[in-house]
């Protein structure tokens, strides 16, 4: 398999994830942190994010369905979730978090429920896309996800 071809595919996929708003500049910043000492930094961080955030989403779901809603608790969970989402450059997820927060602050349970569905959806979509992306990057070999520099 032509490695340059794979690398181009990786770059193309990244470009389209950015263009479609799934990811933002922050993701590129993470790739800039990747080097020979830490060749898998981005994938490791993203994996950490999805493990961590799955737990937070579960907590949010629990808080939404069990009894009277504690909006402060919801806010705290969402705070951590949005913080990590924005830190990995998960743009659409982050935007849904902001919408959720608005309903939460307003004490609007129905709004929270509806937005939470969107949050979960964007989270799942991004997870799938990034799994594909990293698979492709691994096939492309070391520096498959370089910040664009030729090594």
Residues in contact with other proteins by the rule CB under 8 A: 25-26, 29-30, 32-33, 35-38, 40-41, 44-45, 48-49, 52-53, 76, 79-80, 82-84, 86-89, 97-98, 101, 147, 149, 151
Q: Which residues make beta-bridge pairs with 23?
A: 90
Directed axis angle between helix 25-32 and helix 71-88, to 10°?
Answer: 60
Pairwise CA distance, residues 131 & 94, whole Å: 19
Least spacing, CB of residue 126 vs other proteins, in Å = 14
Of 2 and 145, nearer to other proteins (C-beta) is 145
Do residues 112 and 74 touch, judged by C-beta distance below 8 A? yes
Least spacing, CB of residue 1 vs other proteins, in Å = 25
Do residues 36 and 51 touch, judged by C-beta distance below 8 A? no
Least spacing, CB of residue 33 vs other proteins, in Å = 5
Least spacing, CB of residue 125 vs other proteins, in Å = 19
Q: How far is CA 84 from the centre of its chain?
A: 8
Of 88 and 112, nearer to other proteins (C-beta) is 88
Pairwise CA distance, residues 98 & 100, whole Å: 5
Of 53 and 115, nearer to other proteins (C-beta) is 53
């Amino acid at each position: 398999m032509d490695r340059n071809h794979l690398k181009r595919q990786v770059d193309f996929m990244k470009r389209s994830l950015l263009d479609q708003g799934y990811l933002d500049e922050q993701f590129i910043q993470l790739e800039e942190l990747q080097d020979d000492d830490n060749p898998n930094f981005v994938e490791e961080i993203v994996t950490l994010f999805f493990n961590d955030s799955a737990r937070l989403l579960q907590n949010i779901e629990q808080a939404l369905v069990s009894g009277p809603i504690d909006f402060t608790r919801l806010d705290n969970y969402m705070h951590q979730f949005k913080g990590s989402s924005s830190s990995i450059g998960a743009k659409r997820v982050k935007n849904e978090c902001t919408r959720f927060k608005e309903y939460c602050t307003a004490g609007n349970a129905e709004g929270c429920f509806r937005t939470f569905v969107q949050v979960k959806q964007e989270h799942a979509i991004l997870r799938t896309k990034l799994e594909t992306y990293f698979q492709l990057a691994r096939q492309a070999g070391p520096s498959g996800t370089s910040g664009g520099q030729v090594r």
